[in-house]
């Protein structure tokens, strides 16, 4: 029986911040120097986490909140790379075995990092992984499942991002995070709007995979029929899970769709202006901020959710 959907409370988020404080980095919030008459955009550098992605926050909290009995069974998750690294990192620290069912198109660098953290990898096609996230089961895998986004404790851990943003930029007007399953934007909205309800929180999705924007447009969870694989492997699902729609529909202000070219330009801009290496999903929020679709009233905080990308691929994309 799945846990009923309920709001993540500020007390839970603050407790998570204390719980994971020794595991995660408090990442910097830096202003992107764009020049005169340009929007005030700040970058939250989650690419600087120990696993180079924000997912460590949620994974560390979710694994810490498991009972001793559940941890002893070992843990497993499903991932294109970043959630897998987060759960593997937290599992290794807890001394429990970890299996990751990995989307087979995940970059080699992410697969190598998960294996280096001690995870047992099982490669599987995207469709099968997406279905397994709904079923919360995968043939041949045993142990305690840690869902990479539809998990209350995972969201509470990720929501610690919002606390840091408001401490470092109390005048923030808008926060943007990429949407894959929806856990990041739900987490951001859970913390940010609990403290400052007027701050806008938007998702960002690639044009090739934007079920979030379709769901906000129709007011119900949607399937994205024209889904295409792209280099934005850490975001953009084939559908909006109904449970995640319930979590986000009343607290997230919408999702901004950006093109793959806009995403590449955002990756290049961060490299040129701030010497930041971002994966595709980590550049979506900046691309959305630069599009003007979130307004130009700053500060606008864009979450650089990860930097796990093969360097050869990164050079090809920004070149």
Write out pLDDT tens, residues 199-227: 999 999 999 999 999 999 999 999 999 99
Residues 249, 313, single domain; the answer is yes
Output the pLDDT for position 2.
83
Q: Is 72 exposed, middle or buried (0-12, 13-18, 19+ CB in 10 A)?
A: middle
Residues 166, 226, single domain; the answer is yes
Query: What number of other Cβ atoms are within 10 A of residue 202's Cβ?
Result: 28
Residue 68 is part of which domain span? Answer: 56-151
Q: What percentage of the chain reaches a pLDDT higher than 70?
A: 100
Q: Is 45 exposed, middle or buried (0-12, 13-18, 19+ CB in 10 A)?
A: buried
Residues 173, 310, single domain; the answer is yes
Domain-terminating residue out of 98, 133, 151:
151
Output the pLDDT for position 69.
93
3-state secondary structure (DSSP) of residue 118: coil
Q: What percentage of the chain reaches a pLDDT higher than 90?
A: 87
Question: Alpha-carbon distance 178 to 284, whole Å?
Answer: 6
For 248-297, write each residue's pLDDT tens digit: 999 999 999 999 999 999 999 999 999 999 999 999 999 999 999 999 88
Q: Over 80: is that where the pLDDT of 1 sits?
A: no
Residues 31, 159, single domain; the answer is yes
Output the pLDDT for position 269.
97
DSSP-derived secondary structure letter, 2: P
Residue 94 main-chain phi, psi, to 5 deg = -85, -5
Question: Alpha-carbon distance 175 to 280, whole Å?
Answer: 18
In a domain, 3, yes or no: no
Output the pLDDT for position 86.
94
Confidence of residue 237 (pLDDT cuts 50, 70, 90): confident
Residues 126, 181, single domain; the answer is no
Query: What number of other Cβ atoms are within 10 A of residue 318's Cβ?
Result: 18
Domain-terminating residue out of 151, 167, 190:
151
Confidence of residue 7 (pLDDT cuts 50, 70, 90): very high
Are the beta carbons of 100 and 84 closer than 8 angstroms?
yes
Q: Is the dihedral of CA 20, 302, 270, 265 positive or negative?
A: positive
Confidence of residue 81 (pLDDT cuts 50, 70, 90): confident
Question: Alpha-carbon distance 271 to 318, whole Å?
Answer: 9
Most confident among 90-99, 121-130, 249-258 (mean pLDDT): 249-258
Domain count, the chain: 2
Strands (E) across 57-141 are located at: 75-79, 98-103, 120-124
Distances in Å between the Cα of 89 and the Cα atoms of 42, 80, 83, 236 are 28, 15, 10, 24
Give me the CATH number covering residue 65: 3.40.50.1100
In a domain, 249, yes or no: yes
Residues 191, 97, single domain; the answer is no
Residues 146, 158, single domain; the answer is no
3-state secondary structure (DSSP) of residue 235: coil
Domain-terminating residue out of 129, 151, 173:
151
Residues 27, 38, single domain; the answer is yes
Closest CA to 276 of 85, 24, 30: 30
For 134-156, write each residue's pLDDT tens digit: 899 999 999 999 999 999 999 99
Question: Alpha-carbon distance 4 to 10, whole Å?
Answer: 18
Residues 133, 170, single domain; the answer is no
For 152-205, write each residue's pLDDT tens digit: 999 999 999 999 999 999 999 999 999 999 999 999 999 999 999 999 999 999
Residues 80, 227, single domain; the answer is no
Residue 91 main-chain phi, psi, to 5 deg = -65, -45
Closest CA to 269 of 33, 42, 48: 33
Are the beta carbons of 83 and 59 closer than 8 angstroms?
yes
Residues 204, 256, single domain; the answer is yes
Residues 31, 84, single domain; the answer is no
């Amino acid at each position: 029986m799945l846990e009923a959907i309920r709001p993540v409370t500020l007390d839970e988020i603050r407790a998570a911040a204390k719980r994971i404080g020794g595991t995660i980095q408090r990442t910097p919030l830096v202003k992107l120097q764009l020049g005169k008459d340009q929007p005030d955009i700040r970058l939250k550098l989650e690419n600087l986490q120990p696993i180079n992605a924000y997912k460590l926050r949620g994974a560390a909290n979710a694994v810490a909140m498991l009972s001793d009995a559940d941890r002893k069974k070992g843990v497993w998750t499903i991932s294109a790379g970043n959630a897998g690294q987060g759960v593997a990192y937290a599992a290794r620290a807890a001394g429990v075995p970890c299996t990751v069912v990995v989307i087979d198109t995940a970059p080699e660098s992410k697969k190598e990092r998960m294996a280096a953290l001690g995870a047992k990898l099982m490669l599987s096609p995207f469709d099968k992984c997406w279905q397994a996230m709904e079923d919360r089961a995968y043939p041949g895998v045993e142990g305690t499942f840690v869902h990479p986004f539809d998990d209350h404790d995972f969201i509470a851990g990720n929501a610690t991002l919002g606390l840091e943003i408001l401490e470092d930029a109390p005048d923030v007007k808008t926060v943007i995070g990429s949407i894959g399953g929806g856990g990041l934007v739900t987490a951001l909205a859970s913390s940010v709007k609990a403290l400052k309800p007027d701050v806008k929180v938007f998702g960002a999705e690639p044009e090739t995979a934007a079920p979030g924007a379709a769901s906000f447009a129709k007011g119900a969870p949607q399937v994205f029929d024209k889904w295409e694989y792209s280099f934005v492997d850490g975001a953009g699902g084939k559908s909006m899970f109904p449970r995640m729609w319930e979590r986000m529909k009343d607290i997230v202000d919408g999702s901004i769709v950006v093109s793959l070219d806009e995403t590449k330009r955002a990756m290049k801009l961060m490299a040129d202006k701030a010497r930041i290496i971002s994966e595709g999903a980590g550049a979506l929020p900046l691309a959305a901020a630069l599009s003007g679709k979130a307004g130009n009233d700053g500060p606008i905080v864009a979450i650089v959710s990860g930097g796990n990308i093969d360097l050869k691929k990164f050079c090809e994309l920004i070149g």
